[in-house]
Structure 1
């Protein structure tokens, strides 16, 4: 299974060959542009187009036993393709692009708030990031700093490093509880800024190519979740007056 999204987050369609059908109906392919649920980012939805023009609606994408296995979950009433059949994949681009914008926004928030991350989750219209911190911080101030990074239009790009390089610099991981998958021989970094001057951290998710694409965002709420845990909610649009 070749995960095409890992190198090109803007690939919204591709052709693939069906390699397997699981007992639960999950479809396996030789390659895919559909992102599988991981790291707080939901898996892609969309449809497969068959040679005769009919469609198989995909309502979710998940990993199998390992990250290398990507399973496409059809809706309950959809037909099953044949093993060996070639299908054209179409992701729900509007949904994916919102997730990409918010995922990049989460990385920018981790720059503004340089604390260990204890959790994160991304939805279509907002995202949350939990930090191990006890400080009180003003959401308007955080929003201002976030938008400064967005408007600076820093490049966002992917780099691959070896596991040995990661071992030599383990502090690039900001998550307190989750470690990057090991045993693959290499690790994917999402870098922001020329020569990663703004940020660089292991991440398998999809991102925009420059920070200006994030658009107008604001911190909608900062919640206290325990003595040393704060939950920040990122939302699209300007901060309400």
Structure 2
């Protein structure tokens, strides 16, 4: 049975009730989850599952297995049919949401101003890194400055779903170099009106004002057309 992915419609669900549908060693499948399994450069969520008797079991990793989401647990035991309450490590998740939305705005600026695409990236709670196919690394501070200007405007971040055929008609819907458009029939779209629109499956903040300010940690030259920026966000 496919796991219902609650985070796709609401990234702000911190706690939820669910039933264990399958157990394989320390991997537990639930009928629904708000734990993000990682992907698109974002790390997975962690947190805990609480049994009806109050026993707390740590979730140390979450990963996708086909149409199911596996929760890797430690410090307890669960059985098929058990009811649990899932609790996400919200501070960790929210920092990654802020960084994720920041990365979308930076990607939009790089694409619109310099026709540059992201060739790789990673988001952890502490910082994010993005690789751009740029020749000049001096352009990156300009991208960040413009992104911060946009973030400060307090623009609503919209999430909705479109059929694949309709989504493919939108220019720049996939802004990752060498990334093939998803083959699934329904796409999840994340739009910052007037700034960016992308097919995306990860959690985001509801408004750009929540991101704060992007601060560059360092910039690296990774080759002729590959410049890497490490950055974080500050309130």
Confirm or deny a common fold (TM above 0.5): yes
Q: Alpha carbons of 1:154 and 1:94: their partners in 2 closer, same or farther (altered >3 Å)?
A: same
TM-score, structure 2 as length reference: 0.92
Consecutive unaligned residues in structure 1, runs of 5 or more: none
**Deviations 1:127-170 (CA, angstroms, capped at 9, x unpaired):** 01111121342554333212111110111110211011134346
* Segment of structure 1 superposing worse, 139-148 or 215-224: 139-148
Partner of 1:92: 89
Contact 2:49/2:86 (CA < 8 Å) preserved in 1?
A: yes
RMSD over aligned CA atoms reads 1.6
How do 1:1-241 and structure 2 match up within 5 A?
1-23=3-25, 25-64=26-65, 66=66, 68-75=67-74, 78-114=75-111, 115-169=116-170, 171-183=172-184, 185-193=185-193, 197-237=194-234
How many matched pairs? Answer: 229
Consecutive unaligned residues in structure 2, runs of 5 or more: none
TM-score, structure 1 as length reference: 0.90
Separation in 2, partners of 1:157, 1:181: 20
Q: Alpha carbons of 1:30 and 1:180: their partners in 2 closer, same or farther (altered >3 Å)?
A: farther
State the secondary structure of the residue aligned to 2:122: strand
**Deviations 1:24-59 (CA, angstroms, capped at 9, x unpaired):** x21101000000010111111000010011111001
**Deviations 1:38-88 (CA, angstroms, capped at 9, x unpaired):** 011111100001001111100111111x2x22111112xx22211011100
Separation in 2, partners of 1:37, 1:180: 18
